[in-house]
Amino acid sequence: MPPEKSRAKTSVEDRLLGSIDLIDAAQACALLRIDADDPDATMQSMVRDGAIITLAQNGKAVFPRFQIDMANGRIFHVVGAILKLRPACLSNLMLCYWLTRAHVDFGCAPAQRFGHDDAAIVAAFRRYVERVRHG
């Protein structure tokens, strides 16, 4: 019988979260130039409105930095368009996976092209989530 490994394997979710630059609600508000007494409530309101992607890490809400246009202090418009197209069966984690992995249409991750190729990103996402129809 092989000996047990001393280190627990890192889960796929943990590896994915570790590969994304994540920020907390206070940092997100600062980057969005929002002066909020309760950054968590402010960001959760934006999540409910379908304006921003949220993830959970260690039981806390975190936000991928790639969706924030730091030069203009806003969320890229393409994020809202993608969230409107996202089917309920596609988790935010899987959405972030798609956005952060190299895509044949762009030669890089779609998130790296936010603000430049937004229409092409939405079209590629639409193809990704489109149901396969036979016959």
In order of 40, 111, 130, 133, the CA distances from 86 in angstroms are 24, 15, 10, 18
Which residue segment(s) compose the domain that 121 sits in?
12-129
More confident residue, 11 or 85: 85
- As for how many domains the chain has, the answer is 1
More confident residue, 8 or 31: 31
Give the pLDDT confidence score for residue 71 in this predicted structure.
Answer: 93
Task: Flag whether 5 is in a domain.
Answer: no
Task: Flag whether 17 is in a domain.
Answer: yes
Interval 79-110: pLDDT, tens? 999 999 999 999 999 999 999 999 999 999 99
Task: Flag whether 134 is in a domain.
Answer: no
- The dihedral built from the CA positions of residue 107, 110, 116 and 121, taken in this order, carries a sign that is positive
Task: Flag whether 135 is in a domain.
Answer: no
Interval 15-37: pLDDT, tens? 888 889 999 999 999 999 999 99
12 pLDDT band, cuts 50/70/90, is confident
Interval 59-76: pLDDT, tens? 999 999 999 999 999 999
Give the pLDDT confidence score for residue 5 in this predicted structure.
Answer: 46
Task: Flag whether 86 is in a domain.
Answer: yes
Task: Flag whether 62 is in a domain.
Answer: yes
Task: Flag whether 43 is in a domain.
Answer: yes
Task: Flag whether 103 is in a domain.
Answer: yes
Give the pLDDT confidence score for residue 9 in this predicted structure.
Answer: 58
Cβ–Cβ < 8 Å for 29, 39: yes
Interval 42-64: pLDDT, tens? 999 999 999 999 999 989 999 99
Which of 7-16, 59-68, 126-135 shows the lowest mean pLDDT across its residues? 7-16
